[in-house]
A and B are shown apart, each in its own frame.
Chain A
Amino acid sequence: MKKRAKFGVGIGVIVVSLVFLAWLGYGESKTYYHTIAELPNLHGAAAAHRMRVGGTVEPGTIRRLSGRVDFVLEGEGKTLPVSYTGSDPLPDTFVDKSQALVEGSLAPDGRFVAERVQAKCASKYEAAPGGKLAPASAAASSTQNSGM
Chain B
Amino acid sequence: MDLFGSFALILAFICAVYAFVGGIFAIRTRHPLLVKSTRQAGIATCVLIFLGTFSLEYLFFSDDFSVAYVVAHSNRDLSTFYKVAALWSGQEGSLLFWSFLLAIYIFSTLMVYRNKNGELMPYVGVVLAGVQIFFLTLNNFVASPFKALATPGAHGAMNLVARADGNGLNGLLQYPEMVIHPPNLYSGYTGFTIPFAFALGALLARYPGEKWIHLTRKWTMIAWGFQSAGILLGAHWAYAVLGWGGYWAWDPVENASLLPWLTGTAFLHSVMMQEKRGMMKVWNVWLVFITFLLCITGTFLTRSGIVASVHAFAQSSIGNWFLGFICVILVVCLVAYFKNRDYLASENQLDSMVSRESSFLFNNLILLVSCIAVLSGTLFPVFSEWLSGSRISVGAPFFNKVNIPIGLLLLFLTGVGPLLAWRKTSAESLKRNFAWPLAFGLAGGVAAFALGYRQFYSLICLTLCAFVAATITSEFYRGAKVIRARSGASFLASGIDLTLRNTRRYGGYIVHMGMVLIFIGLAGVAFNRDVQKDMQPGSTMQIGSYTLLLQSMDSKPEKNYTADRMNVEVLRNNKQLMMLYPERRRFNVDQPSGTMVAIYSTLKEDLYVVYAGESPDTQMPVIHAYLNPLVKWIWFGGAVVVLGTLVALLPNRKSVLVLSAVAQTSPQAIGGQQLAQPFQPTPAMREGHD
Contacts and interface: CB of A to CB of B under 8 A. Distances in A.
A and B from one complex: yes
A33 B251 CA distance: 16
Contacts of B210: none
Nearest to B171: A139
B651 interface: no
A30 B156 CA distance: 47
Q: Is the interface of A mostly helix, strand, loop or mixed?
A: mixed
Interface string A63-74: 011111100000
B406 A11 contact: no
B394 A26 contact: yes
Contacts of A32: 390-392
B358 A26 contact: no
Contacts of B396: 29, 146-148
A56 interface: no
Interface string A97-123: 000010000000000000000000101
A119 to B, nearest CB: 9
Contact of B591 (A30, A69, A139): A139
A74 B352 CA distance: 64
Given A26-B394, A32-B392, A144-B244, A137 B72 contact: yes
Given A26-B394, A29-B396, A91 B592 contact: yes
Contact of A21 (B73, B149, B401, B590): B401
Given A33-B391, A126-B72, A25 B397 contact: yes
A121 B590 CA distance: 10
A124 B590 CA distance: 8
Interface string B330-361: 00000000000000000000111100001001
Given A32-B390, A64-B616, A126-B71, A137 B313 contact: yes
A144 B244 CA distance: 6
Contact of A28 (B89, B366, B398, B532): B398
A124 B587 CA distance: 14
Interface in A34-87: 34, 52, 64-69, 87
Interface in B369-402: 369, 373, 381, 390-402
Interface in A1-18: 3-4, 6-7, 10-11, 14-15, 17-18
Contacts of B555: none
A140 B171 CA distance: 12
Contacts of B248: 147-148
B443 interface: no
Contact of B398 (A25, A52, A128): A25
Nearest to B91: A137
B309 to A, nearest CB: 8
A124 B73 CA distance: 12
A90 B395 CA distance: 21
Interface in B626-661: none
A18 B353 contact: no
B148 interface: yes
B119 interface: no
Interface string B421-464: 00000000000000000000000000000000000000000000
Contacts of B167: 124, 126, 136
A63 to B, nearest CB: 10
Interface size class of A (residues with CB under 8 A): 35 or more
Interface string A119-143: 0010110111111001111111110
Contacts of B164: none
Given A92-B593, A131-B152, A137 B393 contact: no
B362 interface: yes
Interface stretch (B100-108, B536-544, B607-615): B607-615
B136 to A, nearest CB: 20
A148 B630 CA distance: 13
A29 B397 contact: yes
A58 B358 CA distance: 61
B398 A147 contact: no
A21 B150 contact: no
The residue in A26, A123, A130 that gathers the most chain B C-beta atoms within 10 A of its C-beta is A26
A6 B148 contact: no
Contact of B614 (A6, A89, A141): A89
B170 interface: yes
Contacts of A145: 242, 244, 246, 249, 251
B59 to A, nearest CB: 16
A54 to B, nearest CB: 8
Nearest to B393: A31
B402 A31 contact: no
Contact of A135 (B310, B314, B406): B314
B353 A6 contact: yes
A18 B406 contact: yes
Contact of B397 (A28, A34, A68): A28
B402 A18 contact: yes
The residue in A25, A131, A142 that gathers the most chain B C-beta atoms within 10 A of its C-beta is A25
A142 B613 CA distance: 13
A136 B401 contact: no
A145 B532 CA distance: 15
A115 B616 CA distance: 15
Contact of B170 (A17, A135, A137): A137
A7 B358 contact: yes
Given A3-B352, A137-B91, A139-B170, A21 B394 contact: no
Contacts of B68: 126-129
Contacts of B406: 18
Contacts of B392: 30-33
B314 A137 contact: yes
B25 interface: no
B165 to A, nearest CB: 14
B551 interface: no
B554 interface: no
Contacts of B313: 137
Interface string B142-154: 0000011111100
Interface string B303-327: 0000010100110000000000000
Contacts of A129: 68, 147-148, 150, 158
The 7 lowest CB-CB distance pairs between A and B, nearest first, are A131-B152, A25-B398, A25-B401, A89-B613, A147-B249, A29-B395, A33-B391
26 contacts: A7-B361, A10-B362, A14-B365, A18-B402, A21-B405, A25-B401, A29-B394, A30-B393, A33-B390, A52-B393, A68-B616, A90-B613, A127-B68, A127-B150, A128-B147, A131-B156, A134-B314, A139-B172, A139-B310, A139-B591, A141-B172, A145-B244, A147-B249, A147-B251, A148-B249, A148-B250
